Structure 1
Amino acid sequence: MHVEFDPTGTVTGLGEAINRLHTDPTVRAALVFAADGNDLPAGAMNDAISASPLPLLGGIFPAIAYASKSHEQGTLVVGLDHLPDYGVIDTLSAPDTAFEPAISAFADTWPDEPHDATYLVVVDGLAARTSDLIEALFFSLGLEHNFIGGGAGSLSLQQSPCIITPEGLHADSALIARLALPSAIGVSHGWQPISETMTVTESEGNRVRTIDWQPAAELYAREVFAHGGERIDADNFFSIAKSYPLGIARYGAEVVVRDPLMMNDAGEIVCVGEVPAGCRIRLLNGDMDTLLTAAGDARSEATTAHPQRSIDTALLFDCISRVLFLDADLSRELDAVGGGAPVHGAFTLGEIANSGRDYLDFLNKSIVYAILDR
């Protein structure tokens, strides 16, 4: 698979990277992973998309990975030897958006499914109903094939157009693309419970109102202080909360991690992804060793499912909060998941994955390593 990287993060640099791909007659489309730090106006990006000789699919993410390094500026372009089938769902946060009919509207028009396919799902990571979408994808498309992807958007936590399609940029949307490529996937997180089990008693979408009938922000602050002695408030919330995610219990499977983004004036905790009322949660914490072990576990899971085959291309979807947590030691995580080989991909606001047999979930603070074959 042909990979190009533009370190400048400019429209000109993106065009040059696409044109280099276009010189390869086997390349028919491209995945685009752009960094939010490029700070390109939507109009300029739309012009570049329109001018591209190749159809483009992807998103704008908090940061991207190229050659096992994090880049807050630049654009990764991955050539494909086929034109993927794709569809877009808009108004992702609207309470009246019916996801299953929206998926059927485009998926029912696709040609017969390839024997080996991988679904790429890129969502607005700040949308309020991403978990509802993931559930609808399960019911509409099943688990016969693998899913990979993650949340696009900005660490400013302000929604903006961040989904890339051949028609241009979309905001508050989801891209679902069917790649005619087999894959092997590994997923892990490395966060450990440090509190007793609690119940989310009131919530709406990605806003947790009460936990055990107490204001969620107050209870969360007490638990954080009890464990680490740090006092958390609205001003320092994100810098401390990156070390204390919520873990949603699942029967017979690893917990689903939810990343708290902020506490609002109503005393609620706003997370990346929904936290349903009635679910059982625990406060989680991790350290350098547990996160690095998880990176190696993700690689091992993928390579075990990909025996005795060379790795053509591997894509990484790694939560941006892991980047902030690991800081200068991020290179150790990328080395662990790459196993000595360079890795490329996106640092995301939430991750999407299954392995063709397990739960399909919208995850937080997790690392997804996907081996793609020609």
Structure 2
Amino acid sequence: MSKANMMHYLPRVEAGAVGQKLAELQASYPKLGVLALLPEAEKDKVAVLQAACAAQKVQLAGAIFPALVQDGHFLTGGVWLFCFSEMPYFALYDNLPTEAAEAERAVEKIAADVRAQIDHIPDITMFLLFDAMVPNIGTMLDTLYLHLANRVHYAGANAGSETFQPMPCLFDGERITQNGVLLLLLREHKGAILEHGYHTNPHTSYATSTKGNCISQIDWRPAFEVYQELVREHYGEEVTAENFYQFGVHFPFGIVRANHHVLVRIPVMLAEDGSLFCVGEVPSNSVLTLLKAPTVRTVETLHNLTEGLSALNGDISNKEILLFYCAGRRLHLGIPMATTELEAFAGLTHASQIAGALSLGEIGGSTVHGYPLFHNATLVAARW
């Protein structure tokens, strides 16, 4: 959006405060629409937002994340209202199927809905907010690309609880749902820039048995057994079933693609049979490498992100920037270093505001007009 001051943070999610802000905005924008981002601690306030928007006849879509981002800070209270002078096309799809044939049909339906909205319109971003519990997001992105190709830019993030427990986290003016996706089509929008700054370990292995986001075998051996050996050999740490949750986020896998681009996959759960569950799908026979916190090049990441935003949008100083920051990255780096990254990004961009959320996986293209990829441990930024 080109208009200034279209992102508004309210520290209290109360009917009076929300209603007053909506009325103020509606005086300038009679067809006002709102995308609301709530932190998990405020999840019970969805009904307050729905009632306030209904009273003002304002269209509403939104999602719940572990925390919010405001300039150089992570916040666990309040709400972000991302405003539109007129609500763009949006759709909320719930209970997405996971069985392959049914999932393909569901995505074909989504693609058909989108195609009906985008004919002959340049620079549309398909902005996707998934429930992080959907296990086949990567496959769905593949299918969307088969149907839509580069007629849209792809960007988005995963909502939900940082505990990775199921939780309704996507909503519109009437519903709150889970296991779904909220889709918005942002017109005259050039897409997002995504960076993580990880550099690969030269040692690689193969994910020889996988299903969705579960790795059963690496190099034909139990996945956890190989993972323990890799961490011990390369980084001198002992990972056990007892300390796995603490260590997993510090030693994520990287999927090495043919163009040497690395997709980060954070292991978040260990099964009794030694299988590892990651945030995001791991295709069978993927080339894997092991990553570690000190290999995150923060300065390089932030400069690439800022330069990418400028190349895409022109001068971004005094503009409003949407930012999603991966919750796994924050765990990986620690809150002090993650907060320092936010502060440094705000300083580099000279943005008037940086607003967004702590996300559970991120979506961006391999290039500006490229194939959509599902990432962990990244920062996704776009001009609002």
Normalised by the size of structure 1, how large is the TM-score?
Answer: 0.90
1:349 alignment partner, one of 360, 364, 370: 360
2:372 to 329, 345, 360: 360
Letter of the 2:338 counterpart: L
1:138 aligns with 2:166: no
Q: Quick check: 9-18 or 114-123, which moved more?
A: 9-18
The amino acid that maps onto 2:370 is: D
1:326 paired to 2:337: no
1:97 is the counterpart of 2:92 = no
Match of 1:160 among 167, 182, 207: 167
Deviation of the 1:365 alpha carbon = 0.5
Tell me what 2:184 maps to.
177
Aligned to 1:203: 210
The CA RMSD measured in Å over matched residues stands at 2.5
The answer to whether the Cα contact below 8 Å between 1:42 and 1:161 also exists between their aligned partners in 2 is no
1:221 pairs with one of 228, 247, 259: 228
**Corresponding residue of 1:62:** 66
Shift in CA distance, 43/369, structure 1 to aligned 2, threshold 3 Å:
closer
The more displaced of 15-24 and 56-65 is 15-24
Superposition deviation, residue 363 in structure 1:
0.7
Paired AA for residue 214 in structure 1: R
Q: How does 1:104-143 map to 2 (within 5 A)?
A: 104-110=111-117, 112=119, 114-143=121-150
Whole-Å Cα distance in 2 between the matches of residues 239 and 184 of structure 1? Answer: 34
The structural deviation recorded for 1:184 is 5.1
Mean CA deviation greater in 310-319 or 258-267: 310-319
CA spacing shift, 1:11–1:143, aligned 2, 3 Å: farther
- 8 A contact 1:319–1:350 mirrored in 2: yes
Q: Which amino acid aligns with 1:327?
A: I
Paired residues of 1:200 and 1:208 also in contact (CA < 8 A): yes
| Residue 252 of structure 1: aligned partner | 259
Contact 2:196–2:378, Cα closer than 8 Å, also in 1? yes
Compute the displacement of 1:219 (Å).
1.3
Give unpaired runs (5+ residues) of structure 2.
none
Rounded Cα–Cα distance in structure 1 between residues aligned with 2:270 and 2:88: 40
CA contact (8 A) 1:11 1:45 kept: yes
Does the 8 A contact of 2:13 with 2:45 survive in 1?
no
Instruction: Out of 86-95 and 293-302, give the one that drifted further.
Output: 86-95
State the Cα distance separating 1:203 from its structure 2 match.
Answer: 0.9
Q: CA deviation at 1:310?
A: 5.8
Q: Secondary structure at the match of 2:158?
A: strand
TM-superposition CA deviations, 1:21-76 (whole Å, max 9, x none): 33432662111111112141766665566556321223111111113311122211
Aligned residues: 372
Q: Give the match's secondary structure for 1:316.
A: strand
The verdict on how the C-alpha distance between 1:357 and 1:253 changes in structure 2, with shifts beyond 3 A counting, is farther
CA contact (8 A) 2:154 2:191 kept: no
CA contact (8 A) 2:103 2:140 kept: no
- Tell which deviates more after alignment, 289-298 or 155-164: 289-298
Q: Secondary structure at the match of 2:28?
A: coil
- Residues 43 and 64 in structure 2, CA contact (< 8 A), matched pair in contact too: no
- Unaligned residue ranges in structure 1 (runs of 5+): none
1:371 maps to 2:383: yes
Of 43, 53, 59, which residue of structure 1 is paired with 2:57?
Answer: 53
Q: Which moved more, 1:344-353 or 1:17-26?
A: 17-26
User: In structure 2, what is the Cα distance between the partners aligned to 1:195 and 1:328?
Assistant: 29
Instruction: Calculate percent identity across the aligned residue pairs.
Output: 25
Distance 1:219 1:185, change over 3 A: same
Q: Is the 8 A contact 2:155 2:191 kept in 1?
A: no
Q: Is the 8 A contact 2:323 2:380 kept in 1?
A: yes
**After TM superposition, where is structure 1 displaced by more than 4 Å over at least 4 residues in a row?**
9-17, 41-52, 308-311
Query: For 2:274 and 2:20, how far apart are their aligned partners in 1?
Result: 48
Q: Deviations over 1:140-196 (max 9, x none)?
A: 222233222100000121111111223421200011210113235322111222361
Please give the per-residue CA displacement for 1:319-366, whole angstroms capped at 9, x wherever unaligned: 111222231122321133331434111111000112532331111101
CA contact (8 A) 2:199 2:295 kept: no
Counterpart AA for 2:278:
C
Q: What is the identity, as a one-letter code, of the residue corresponding to 2:265? A: R
Alpha-carbon distance in structure 1 between the residues aligned to 2:250 and 2:47: 37
- Structural mapping, 1:35-50, within 5 Å: 35-40=39-44, 47=51, 50=54
CA distance, structure 1, for counterparts of residue 316 and residue 329 of structure 2: 30
Instruction: Specify the alignment match of 1:304 in structure 2.
Output: 311
CA distance in 1, matches of 2:57, 2:222: 53
2:247 is paired with a residue whose SS is: helix
More displaced stretch, 361-370 vs 81-90: 81-90
Classify the secondary structure of the residue corresponding to 1:303: helix
